[in-house]
Amino acid sequence: MLRALTAIFFFALPSIQSAVPTKFAPLQFAKDGTFQISILEDLHFGENAWDTWGPEQDVNSVAVINRVLNAESPDLVVLNGDLITGDNAFLENSTVYIDKIVAPLVDRSLTWASTYGNHDSAYNLSREAILAREHRWPNSRTEQMVFGREAGVSNYYLPVHGSDDESSTGAPELLLWFFDSRGGYYYQELDTAGNVIAQPNWVDVGVVDWFKKTNEELVKKYHKNIPSLVFVHIPTNASLAAQTEIGINAYREPGINDDYTLAQQGEGWCADGSDASTCTYGGQDVPFMKALVNTPGVLAVFSGHDHGDTWCYKWDSLISGMTVEGNGVNLCFGQHSGYGGYGSWIRGSRQVLVSEEKLKKKVIDSWIRLESGGVVGSVSLNATYGEDKYPETPDLLSSCPTCSYTLDS
The 10 Å CB-count burial string (b at 16+, else e) for 153-163 is bbbbbbbbbbb
- Listed as own residue / partner, the contacts of 190-193 with beta carbons closer than 8 Å and 24 or more positions apart are 190/123
Q: How far is CA 377 from CA 310, 350, 392, in A?
A: 8, 9, 8
In this predicted structure, what is the pLDDT of residue 406? 44
CA triplet 299, 300, 305: central angle to 5 degrees?
Answer: 165
2/53 Cα distance (integer angstroms): 9
Q: What is the pLDDT of residue 398?
A: 76
Residue 276 is predicted with a pLDDT of 85
Distance CA 321, CA 281 (A): 12
Amino acid letter, residue 331: L
Exposure of 325 by Cβ count < 10 A (0-12 exposed, 13-18 middle, 19+ buried)? middle
- Please, which residues have CB within 8 angstroms of residue 36's CB and are 6 or more apart in sequence? 72, 73, 74, 75, 76, 351, 352, 353, 354
On the CB side of 234, CA atoms within 13 Å amount to 26
Instruction: Assign a CATH topology to domain 2-381.
Output: Purple Acid Phosphatase; chain A, domain 2 (3.60.21)
Residue 228's beta-bridge partner residues? 175, 298
Q: How do the domains of the chain map onto residue ranges?
A: 2-381
Is the pTM higher than 0.85?
Answer: yes
pLDDT the model gives residue 22: 61
Q: Kindly give the confidence (pLDDT) of every residue in the chain, 409 residues in length, as a single tens digit, with 9 standing for 90 and above.
A: 443 444 334 445 665 555 555 678 999 999 999 999 999 999 999 999 999 999 999 999 999 999 999 999 999 999 999 999 999 999 999 999 999 999 999 999 999 999 999 999 999 999 999 999 999 999 999 999 999 999 999 999 999 999 999 888 999 999 999 999 999 999 999 999 999 999 999 999 999 999 999 999 999 999 999 999 999 999 999 999 999 999 999 999 999 999 999 999 999 999 999 998 899 999 999 999 999 999 999 999 999 999 999 999 999 999 999 999 999 999 999 999 999 999 999 999 999 999 999 999 999 999 999 999 999 999 999 999 999 999 999 999 876 555 544 445 4
pLDDT reported for residue 404: 47
Q: With beta carbons less than 8 A apart as the criterion, state whether 39 and 93 touch.
A: no
Count Cα neighbours of 321 within 13 Å in the Cβ-side half-sphere: 12
- Return the DSSP state at 350: E
